[in-house]
Structure 1
Amino acid sequence: MPDLLNQRIESCYQQAEAFFKRSFKRPEVSLKLRGQKAGVAHLHENLLRFNPQLYRENHAHFLEQTVAHEVAHLIAHQMFGSGIQPHGEEWQLIMRGVYELPPHRCHTYAVQRRTALRYIYRCKCPEQDFAFSAQRHTLVGKGRRYLCRRCRATLVFSGQQRRE
């Protein structure tokens, strides 16, 4: 676990403890998050998960904003319980009042999307094809049928694939 990330998490907790004049249980922290999310707070497990790639690519902003954003979720949950909205007024209070940061719901980091292999299916309609995901293609192999909405014919694998 990178030292700066742990230090920032600890700093966020100390700020919250000074603001609310109470202590908070420290979370477990993981750098095993992939995809488009920069961070996730698992409220009932008291767990923070961060995306290591987005952390590396957006280091300074990630430490300041993303870490505080996710810690604020855990603090809000411990302060106000389970019945609050994820980005509701309690969470916003913590972002503004404790961390003096804008309560942005989503990051704006550039995220590279993976190219996906698509399986091309066809029906009786001319010039019509359907790109199936690997999961949907597997379901067809297990007997699932999909119909064209226009001609109502069963879609059939063409034998072709493409990357998207």
Structure 2
Amino acid sequence: MKPDNSLFKRIQDRVTECLDLAARHTGRNFDPPMVRFNQRGRIAGSAWLEQWELRFNPVLLADNAEAFLTEIVPHEVAHLVAFALHGKVRPHGREWQSIMTGVFGLEPRTRHRLNTEKASPVFPYDCGCRIHKLSLRRHNSVKRGQKRYQCLHCGQPLHAVISSRKRKPS
């Protein structure tokens, strides 16, 4: 499900709010970044520092609007602010952490806790000692015969787990 335009507008407005808050705390104004909704996979958002751009995942946004507004947007804006103030620094280093806590009043978490199953489905594979979850890309490369994977623990090859659900006759 793709979010509607009003949700995109709410995200853009939240980016502006976060930048205004950062400007009040730092005494420095920040240009509005380009905001895109083209992030894919399990990543909720990303900050492209040199391009002064934020990218958000529309699939995850559709199911997690409040988490985006309260956590994801400030997280990504903090990356831009840290870059503007300090230049190229460690992505989740002390400069970014101080912006998260001091400016936004948030715990500086490096990873989100969103359910990513819709955005990035996984496929069960068995080796004999455990079940592994392969990404869609890896699953498709196995199906096409381009790749084979083995367990890092037991060394056995991975085999797709066949669904136990019975199919209806067509």
Fold match by TM threshold 0.5: yes
Structure 2 residue 105 is matched with structure 1 residue 96:
no
Moved over 6 A (4+): 136-139, 161-164
**1:124-143 matches, cutoff 5 A:** 133-135=139-141
CA distance in 1, matches of 2:59, 2:140: 25
Corresponding position of 1:3: 9
- What is the one-letter code of the residue matched to 1:100? G
Secondary structure (helix, strand or coil) at the match of 2:22 reads: helix
As a proportion of its length, which structure holds more strand? Answer: 1
Is 1:105 aligned to 2:131, yes or no? no
| Structure 1 residue aligned with 2:56 | 50
State the AA in 2 paired with 1:63.
L
Identity %: 33
In structure 2, runs of 5+ residues without a counterpart are 126-133, 151-159, 164-170
**TM-superposition CA deviations, 1:74-105 (whole Å, max 9, x none):** 000010001x1100000001000001111010
**SS state at 1:67 partner:** helix
1:87 to 2:113 alignment: no
Aligned-residue CA RMSD in angstroms?
2.9
- Scaled by the length of structure 1, the TM-score of the pair is 0.71
How far does residue 60 in structure 1 lie from its aligned partner after superposition?
A: 1.0
TM-score (norm 2): 0.69
CA apart distance, 1:106 = 0.4
Alpha-carbon deviations, 1:3-52, whole Å to 9, x = none? 21111000000000001101112110101112100000011111100011
Residue 40 of structure 2 is aligned to residue 70 of structure 1: no
